[in-house]
Amino acid sequence: MRLKNKPWANDLVDQHPESALDRPDPSEKIDWAARFGNDHPIEIEIGSGKGQFITTLAKHHPETNFVAMEIQKTAAGIILKKKLDEGLDNLQILCADAANLVAYFGENSTSKIYLNFSDPWPKTRHEKRRLTYKSFLAEYQKVLTADGMIEFKTDNSGLYAYSVQSMNNYGMHFDFVSVDLHHEKEEIVEANVETEYEHKFASKGQPIYCLHAQFLPKN
Ligand SMILES: C[S@@+](CC[C@H](N)C(=O)[O-])C[C@H]1O[C@@H](n2cnc3c(N)ncnc32)[C@H](O)[C@@H]1O
């Protein structure tokens, strides 16, 4: 989903290189420990949109470092504004394409990847753009630690079915699957952090599909 261009948001990204990186050179590794000022575990959300989910997590988990990876600069600027307003030192914004994930994160550098309401790309000819296509899974496998986890949510049954199949073909293990996350047991519903899209779809009564998956141990 393309956001309307907001010059203030683009300018904010340019004014805060200490908090937001705008399409950094993929040939140069990013020193995340230096950027965060500590070496706490890192969790990444790919395609953060306006950042409701990742800013809420960052607020509730100061012991974890979070990276919002978002391809649209306007969206990155909107997330950055929330980070600055709320003083979230454990959140960094990376305005870049997830296709370059491995260039920006070292191997075994990340404990969790969140894919929330990723663009479904329903046409078969666009399959390679889906964030659960096998080439993306290969990238996630490289950056995740051995016990790292992918947490995926969507309103789109087609993308959900595709993702289950793609992850299964890749030999992944599922720790949790739900075809109606908002009507699971109370503790699951209470622990769930909503995204903007999730709120919109769930308030119309649409089911939210969710899965948590891990790669089999690396050799
Ligand atoms: C449908 S929106 C969902 C936003 C948010 N996660 C939510 O649930 O409300 C998908 C977001 O993913 C971003 N996106 C799509 N492809 C991406 C890619 N290859 N790398 C980084 N971000 C991407 C889009 O710019 C958009 O903001």
Contact 65, 5 (CB under 8 A): no
The answer on pLDDT for 111 being more than 70 is yes
The tally of domains found in the chain comes to 1
147 annotated binding-site participant:
no
In sequence order, the β-bridge partners of residue 42 are 65
User: Model ipTM?
Assistant: 0.99
Q: Is 55 in the pocket of ligand 1 (CB under 6 A)?
A: no
Residue 83 lies in a domain: yes
* CA 96 to each of CA 25, 27, 188: distance values in angstroms, whole numbers, following the listed order: 10, 13, 32
Q: What is the pLDDT of residue 219?
A: 60
Q: What pLDDT, on the 0 to 100 scale, is given for residue 218? A: 60
- Residue 137: which CATH number? 3.40.50.150
pLDDT digits 0-9 by tens, 114-134? 999 999 999 999 999 999 999
In a domain, 76, yes or no: yes
Q: Note whether residue 90 is domain-resident.
A: yes
Identity of the amino acid at 103: A
Q: Which domain holds residue 183?
A: 40-214
Ligand 1 site-directed mutation target among 117, 155, 210, most atoms within 8 Å of CB: 117
The Å distance, Cα 190 to ligand 1 centre, comes to 24
Averaged pLDDT of the chain: 97
50-82 pLDDT tens trace: 999 999 999 999 999 999 999 999 999 999 999
- With respect to residue 10, please indicate whether it lies within any of the assigned structural domains: no
In a domain, 175, yes or no: yes
Task: Check pocket membership of 46 for ligand 1, CB cut-off 6 A.
Answer: yes
Does pLDDT of 1 surpass 80?
no
- What would the mean pLDDT of 137-151 be, rounded to a whole number? 97
Q: How far is CA 31 from CA 37, 102, 192, in A?
A: 10, 13, 30
155 is in an annotated binding site: yes
Domain presence at residue 125:
yes
**Integer Cα distance of 131 and 129 in angstroms:** 6
Model confidence pTM above 0.90: yes
Does residue 143 fall inside a structural domain? yes
Residue 29: pLDDT band with limits 50, 70, 90: confident
154 is in an annotated binding site: no
CA of 101 to the centre of ligand 1 (A): 14
DSSP per-residue letters across 50-65: T-HHHHHHHHH-TTSE
Instruction: Please work out whether the CB of residue 70 comes within 6 Å of at least one atom of ligand 1.
Output: yes
Distance, in Å, from the CA atom of 50 to the CA atom of 141, rounded to the nearest integer, reads 26
Residue in the structure block whose two tokens are 């993702």 = 163
Cβ–ligand 1 distance for 116 under 6 Å, the answer: yes
Q: Is 196 annotated as a binding residue?
A: yes
**Where in the sequence numbering do the catalytic residues fall?**
119
- Residue 120 domain flag: yes
Residue 217 pLDDT exceeds 90: no
